[in-house]
A and B are shown apart, each in its own frame.
Chain A
């Protein structure tokens, strides 16, 4: 079983829709949770990170963490065609004096104009 699971999609939505992207994790040692956006043939770009359970909002993006269920989500409001990309979730846990980051497989999102 992978430590971080993510539905690969693809997910197609009309412009203006609310998008919900989700990941589950199995290791309760994870402390930090991140979402990255990756355009084709580009490196991942950090969107948001959270530490505790609850919600964190940044513009049209909301990250949600539920540690009791080991479930993390990213919501995108008023989605735009420019949001079309692959979204990667990542979880970080302490190990040997540093942190190890584990990434999901990514969900491909397409926002249709």
Chain B
């Protein structure tokens, strides 16, 4: 069964350091999402790509977060510098087409900032 691949699964970093997360969506999925999920809360959208174009990054803290999907396939989310409040799970998801029925998540990347 096709899956959304994410790495690393777990990351511990010191405050003010840089950290990056990688995502490879399900093959053929044009839409890619990065969500952040704080413990005890639901996922919140950070950025959404349609192919290589950003369609929604209104909730992305652009002073420290950046995301790219250069060839419209895999994607990288970067945080620099990391802050204590960035400790959360970062989820990547993808969907086949611009439809509203299903998006599929990866296993997530757990970030702890110390």
Contacts and interface: CB of A to CB of B under 8 A. Distances in A.
Interface of A: 4, 6, 8, 31-32, 34, 36, 41-46, 49, 51, 88, 90, 92-101, 103-106
Q: Is the interface of A mostly helix, strand, loop or mixed?
A: strand
Contact of B42 (A49, A100, A105): A105
Contact of B102 (A8, A46, A93, A97): A46
Interface stretch (B13-21, B60-68, B103-111): B103-111
Given A43-B105, A98-B48, A106 B42 contact: yes
Contacts of A92: 100-101
A31 B98 CA distance: 13
Nearest to B35: A103
Contacts of A49: 101-102
B102 A34 contact: yes
A97 B99 contact: no
Nearest to A4: B42
Contacts of A46: 102-105
A103 B42 contact: yes
A8 B41 CA distance: 9
A93 B100 contact: yes
A-B pairs with the 9 shortest C-beta distances?
Answer: A103-B42, A92-B100, A99-B100, A32-B100, A43-B105, A43-B108, A43-B107, A105-B42, A44-B105
B110 A41 contact: yes
Interface centre among A4, A92, A95, A98, by most B CB within 10 Å?
A98
Nearest to A46: B102
Interface in B57-104: 89, 91, 98-104
A99 B44 CA distance: 14
B55 to A, nearest CB: 5
A104 B41 CA distance: 8
B94 to A, nearest CB: 12
